[in-house]
Amino acid sequence: SAEPASAVPASFVPASAVPGADTVIRLVSVDRTFGSEPPVHALRDVNLAVRRGEHLSVVGPSGSGKSTLLNTLGLLDSPTSGSYWLDGVETNTLGDLERTSLRGSRIGFVFQSFHLLPYRTVDENVMLAEAYRRPRPGRGRAGRRARAEEALDRVGLAHRIGFRPDRLSGGERQRAAIARALMSEPALLLCDEPTGNLDSENTESVLDLFDRLSRQGMTLVVITHEEAVSVRADRRVRISDGRLTEETR
């Protein structure tokens, strides 16, 4: 039988046990520089708090630091100075294995390209999210299949089980990629230009899904340069030359 959906590695302090449990992301005075002569300041004194269930969009021109910010939030990069709390865990002091484990259990990534394997059905693609994880009770093939079908149902694709990606629309493919990201029950979805390959109708179906996930308590950070996408967020920040500015509406 499947484990409870909320299962996370026991080695982490549950978010509810620390102050600010409703804050999934907290960046405090984060700087990221690359090189030294002269250093490139990709992030400058970035302060950001994102609440659980909040949908934040980040807009900014090319080279402004968007990817560095997303890599930092995704534990793929570390601040040169400043601190990052993720879901109640102070990440600065973690070792590589702990960072990898925390990334795997708390973060889902969604990209502009869907990266679905063409010769596998969508459900097999979603199941592959866990193919290389160490087997645990309830995480055998039957358990994985059940949870993949549940994830596909959650993104509105139950009727596409057994289909190959080439029979799906662009929006359906991106929603399948989102289902794959949901398999680890992440607290946070980091999306880099998630609608960059989609026309307006398919973009709409992905934005509707973001709304639904956000209402269910998922925290979303969406990088986009599309006005129509960023206006659907609860809150919008701009990044320019490594500095974040809050937009007031």
- Binding positions for Mg ion, rule: CB under 5 A: 66-67
Choice from 50, 60, 88, 114 touching ligand ADP (CB under 6 A): 60
DSSP 65: S
Q: Is 24 in contact with 187 (CB distance < 8 Å)?
A: yes
Question: Which of Mg ion, ligand ADP, none sits in contact with 148, Cβ below 5 to 8 A by type?
Answer: none
Q: Is 63 in the site for ligand ADP (CB under 6 A)?
A: yes
Question: Which of Mg ion, ligand ADP, none sits in contact with 19, Cβ below 5 to 8 A by type?
Answer: none
How far apart (Å, rounded) are the C-alpha atoms in residues 60 and 74? 19
Q: Is 190 in the site for ligand ADP (CB under 6 A)?
A: no
Q: Is 88 in the site for ligand ADP (CB under 6 A)?
A: no
Q: Is 121 in the site for ligand ADP (CB under 6 A)?
A: no
How far apart (Å, rounded) are the C-alpha atoms in residues 243 and 151? 36
Q: How far is the CB of 249 from ligand ADP (least distance, A)?
A: 22
| Choice between 129 and 220, CB closer to Mg ion | 220
Helix (H, G, I), strand (E, B) or coil at 227: helix
| Choice between 60 and 165, CB closer to Mg ion | 60
Q: Ramachandran region of residue 65, left (φ > 0), alpha (ψ -120 to 50) or beta?
A: left
Q: HEC string of 70-139? A: HHHHCCCCCCCEEEEEECCEECCCCCHHHHHHHHHHHEEEECCCCCCCCCCCHHHHHHHHHCCCCCCCCC
User: Rounded to whole angstroms, what are the CA distances from 150 to 136, 145, 185, 202, 219?
Assistant: 19, 9, 12, 22, 19
Q: Is 62 in the site for ligand ADP (CB under 6 A)?
A: yes
Per-residue interface string for the shown chain with ligand ADP, residues 21-40, x marking contact by CB under 6 A:
-------------xx----x
Q: How far is the CB of 239 from Mg ion (least distance, A)?
A: 10
Q: How far is the CB of 191 from ligand ADP (least distance, A)?
A: 13
Tokens of 52: 């659980």
Q: Is 230 in the site for ligand ADP (CB under 6 A)?
A: no
| Choice between 66 and 175, CB closer to ligand ADP | 66
Q: Is 42 in the site for ligand ADP (CB under 6 A)?
A: yes
Choice from 51, 67, 139, 169 touching ligand ADP (CB under 6 A): 67
Q: Is 185 in contact with 87 (CB distance < 8 Å)?
A: no
Provide the binding-site residues for ligand ADP, judged by CB under 6 A.
34-35, 40, 42, 60, 62-68
